Each structure stands twice: as structure tokens, then as C-alpha cells.
Amino acid sequence: MQTLFPAKIHKNRDGLFQVRFFDIDEATTQGKTLEEALINAEKILNASLDERINDEIEVNWPMMAEGKDIYSIAPAARIQSAMMIHYSRGEKNMDEIAQKTGVSVEDFAALEKTATSPTLDIMEKAAKALGKRVVLIFEEI
């Protein structure tokens, strides 16, 4: 499961690099340089996903997109973990999953919110309870 959100970044008539995410209409930004546009893209993606997740607005799993001027933007790790736990749990009973994880239902529910930064130990326990495993990847920036 990867949580990379595709964005189209192109230079507009004013010479600014315009950013538009395919999956999140409200997440748009720009930058004077491509580097600045990429930094701003990550910031607006995090802000948009934070708001959606914490307001319990459904976030669709990001689509795959390739092509000219398409960049894959990764949200913050805490947002990725909340999304992965939420989507992996699906319709499974939260009480049972929390018990298998060894945390209270309230603490497990908090793992699906972006304000929580779970430890790797908790992530591994949650993943195992959901029939998954945690795989960490460091990628070049």
C-alpha cells in the first residue's frame, strides 16, 4: 500500500509552477520554482488530508498517474499511518482489532486520526491484527 498522491505541476503563463492534485480538488498551490512548488505541494497535501481525516470526510485512496509533468507527492508519515490503518481495517470490528493490538478502543480509534504519531511497535501490532505487516522504505527526495 503506497500513499503517493499524483499531482500535475506545470508552468503557467505568469511563469509560476502551478500544482493540482488529481484526487483532492481543494489542494492547489504554486511556486516560483519547481522546487518551491514541490515543497508547497507537500504542505497543501498534508493540510488537506489533515482536515479531511480529522473531520471524518472520506479520503479516496490515491489513483496511479504517470506522464509529463506528473509528480508523486507523499504526505507526512503520521498521515500515511492513519490512512493505512483506516483502510486496512475497513469494516472489521474496531473492538476486536484493538484487543488484538493490545490497546483500548479509544487508543486504536486515535490511530486513524492524524494527530497521533504511533510508535513502530504499535504500528506492527496493529498491522498484525489486521493481517498485514509493516514495511519501511526510505526514498530519495
Residues 60 and 81 in one domain: no
Number of domains in the chain: 2
The reported pLDDT for the residue numbered 35 is 97
- For residues 64 and 86, state if they share a domain: no
Are 102 and 86 members of one domain? Answer: yes
- Is pLDDT at 9 greater than 90 in this prediction? yes
113-129 confidence digits (pLDDT tens): 988 888 999 999 999 99
Please report whether residue 137 resides in a domain. no
Same-domain pairing of 42 and 102: no
pTM: 0.87
**Domain-located, residue 50:** yes
Sign, Cα dihedral of 90, 93, 94, 100: negative
Residue 86 lies in a domain: yes
Whether 65 and 95 map to the same domain: the answer is no
Q: Can you tell me the distance from the alpha carbon of 28 to that of 44, in angstroms, rounded to the nearest whole number?
A: 7
Q: Whole domain around residue 94: which residue ranges?
A: 77-129
pLDDT in tens, 42-92: 999 999 999 999 898 989 889 888 889 999 999 999 999 999 999 899 889
Average pLDDT, the chain: 92
Task: Please tell me whether residue 70 adopts helix, strand or coil conformation.
Answer: strand
